[in-house]
Amino acid sequence: MQEREGGAALAPGEAVLVVGAGAMGRGIALVAASAGHLVFLSDVSEEARRRALTAIAEELDGGVRKGRMSAEEASAIRDRIRAVAEPQSVASQVRLVIEAIVEDLEVKRVLFASLEPLVPPQAILATNTSSLSITAIAAPLARPERVVGMHFFNPPTRMKLVEVVSGLATAPEVAQAIRDTAVRWGKIAVMARSTPGFIVNRVARPFYAEALRVLAEGAADCATLDAIVREAGGFPMGPFELMDLIGHDVNFAVTSSVWSAYFYDKRFQPSLIQQELVWAGRLGRKSGRGFYDYAAGAQRPAAAEAPPCLDRAPSAVAAVGEFGPFSALLERLAAAGVVVHRRPADAGPVRIEAADVWIVPTDGRTATRLAHEYGHADVVVLDWARDWAQTPRAALARADGCAQDSWACALGLLQRAGIAVTPLDDVAGLILARTVAMLANEAADAVLAGIGTPRDIDTAMRYGTNYPLGPLAWGEATGVARIVGLLDRLAELYGEDRYRVSPLLRRHLWNGRPLASGDEGERK
């Protein structure tokens, strides 16, 4: 991502003050010093300052050992970081202040109020808050227009994304200066409007919420659901292992904060399962136990997998209707020696007919509902996958009345294509389909609310969470009609506002324009 013309990025000779020497503060200080700035790292705790300088030195030494920099370069960076006890003592020397202190609105307000009269008139006051309102932080100041969010992700030295967040009073040139500074520091910067969760912490909520709901409904265990999301979806981690890594206290607090900030919108409702883990002190890796056990010698449970049924695989199938992104599965079956007869759509669902069984790509209806609606007992529903040409795993669920022979036929068919099959209980939307649909829906609503452009929202989710695709691009690749149809059926089944379709998704369904547009104006 290139720096925009006319940007006002900080020059390397201008000093930066980072307040708070915890993990985030020291990481931000190292990023700024590596870009050539003199950095004052402030913390009231002498021990925190000492630990921060030690950690910075260790990270620089590691960079030298790995050949990322010379010893001289590491020494120069180290020399540009100076620890101070009182931020007010150096405030007059800096062009940029970045606070990374406790997530408490009043504490941040007091800090900025103490620094505002001391910093130069052109200095910018940036907050690394991940959840508090930029507008609220800036409101008591004499010049709220120079307050902006500069939200780094942990660890700042490795995560590429920075959210540049504007409050109601933030001057456009201030946001632009921070955006250009982040780019100069080697980051990928996105612009966001100050709303609860900004981009990433809002749009990511369904990744956790849908997995927790499917777990609560007994579809499968954590290891099985994680494996599907990871291997079929291409996500670097499944939702349960990621929540264990983040810490359930942190993840639950963020979800609760976004939920309350949006006046208890059902889309962001926290999970009772996660609340129980927090109450029990099972916070994940840092406590030794969460969804998984991290004690020495503990065995990680394996994902459920269907037994081999290759001997039941049919030699020929019929593919009825338009398969869209599932077409690559048909090609994969053909490459495995299965004869695939294509037939036009009829009054039934899009499906693969293999002997007596219908294999239906999930559209939000359960297999049992499909069996009832079409009067065909042997129905199996198939979850979505990121890339059917290469996916190593797929999830299936069968109708309550599906015969065992038909179930074995469906399992064997996918196994013949080299796909490990994971059986789930018959829940609506299975796991990957409902997760992807809800992520795309939330991203569309964020665009509609003016929180960010489609490009910035997809970029934020790719680099802030390491998703394999931005949710809008994924929704477009899947098909807006499929996303809307699945959400409508979930809303019908659950009777909840949680699954309401974003008006922007419906608009794109009707106008046929690209969902993942690079220019916000293109959707008008």
Distances (CA, A) of 110 to 85, 97, 107, 151: 17, 14, 5, 20
Q: How many CA atoms lie within 13 Å of 263's alpha carbon, on the beta-carbon side?
A: 0
Q: Measuring CA to CA, which residue among 382, 405, 403, 402 is closest to residue 394?
A: 382
Residue 180 pLDDT > 80, yes or no?
yes
Sign of CA dihedral 413, 415, 416, 417: positive
Q: Mapping DSSP to helix (H, G, I), strand (E, B) and coil, where does residue 6 land?
A: coil
pLDDT one-digit tens code per residue, 221-260? 999 999 999 999 999 999 999 999 999 999 999 999 999 9
Element containing residue 202 per DSSP (H, E): helix 200-203
- Out of 34, 133, 151, 442, the active site residue is 151
- 77-89 mean pLDDT: 97
| 3-state SS, one letter per residue, for 365-419 | CCHHHHHHHHCCCCEEEECCCCCCCCCCEEEEEECCCCCHHHHHHHHHHHHHCCC
The pLDDT-based confidence of 131 (bands split at 50, 70, 90) is confident
163 annotated active-site: yes
Report the alpha-carbon distance of residue 519 to residue 453 in Å, rounded.
7
pLDDT one-digit tens code per residue, 492-509? 999 999 999 999 999 999
**pLDDT for position 520:** 40
Residue 7 pLDDT > 50, yes or no?
no
151 annotated active-site: yes
- Out of 128, 166, 194, 201, the active site residue is 201
The pLDDT-based confidence of 8 (bands split at 50, 70, 90) is confident
Cβ atoms of 153 and 204 within 8 Å: the answer is no
Residue 523 pLDDT > 50, yes or no?
no
The pLDDT-based confidence of 516 (bands split at 50, 70, 90) is confident
Residue 79 pLDDT > 80, yes or no?
yes
What's the chain's length in residues? 524
| Structure tokens that stand for 360 in this block | 């239906």
The pTM of this model reads 0.94
Sign of CA dihedral 428, 431, 433, 438: positive
Residue 5 pLDDT > 50, yes or no?
no
The pLDDT-based confidence of 517 (bands split at 50, 70, 90) is low
C-alpha of 295 from chain center:
28
Could you tell me the domains of the chain? Answer: 15-194 (3.40.50.720), 197-219+221-300+431-443+458-495 (1.10.1040.50), 310-423 (3.30.750.190)
pLDDT one-digit tens code per residue, 291-349? 999 999 999 999 999 999 999 999 999 999 999 999 999 999 999 999 999 999 999 99
- 198-209 mean pLDDT: 97
- Out of 163, 241, 353, 442, the active site residue is 163
pLDDT one-digit tens code per residue, 402-454? 999 999 999 999 999 999 999 999 999 999 999 999 999 999 999 999 999 99
- Out of 34, 42, 128, 130, the active site residue is 130
Sign of CA dihedral 190, 193, 197, 203: negative
3 annotated active-site: no
All residues at 6 or more sequence positions from 250 whose CB lies less than 8 Å from its CB, including other chains? none
Cβ atoms of 499 and 493 within 8 Å: the answer is no
Compute the CA torsion angle 411, 416, 417, 418 (nearest 10 deg).
Answer: 90
Report the amino acid identity of residue 392: P
C-alpha of 113 from chain center:
34
130 annotated active-site: yes
**pLDDT for position 291:** 98
Q: Mapping DSSP to helix (H, G, I), strand (E, B) and coil, where does residue 311 land?
A: helix
The pLDDT-based confidence of 1 (bands split at 50, 70, 90) is very low
Report the alpha-carbon distance of residue 125 to residue 219 in Å, rounded.
48
Tokens 């991290």 belong to residue: 294
Cβ atoms of 294 and 285 within 8 Å: the answer is yes
Q: Tell me what percent of the residues of the chain surpass a pLDDT of 90.
A: 96
Question: Mean pLDDT score of the chain, rounded to an integer?
Answer: 95
Residue 524 pLDDT > 50, yes or no?
no
Q: Measuring CA to CA, which residue among 240, 77, 191 is closest to residue 453?
A: 191
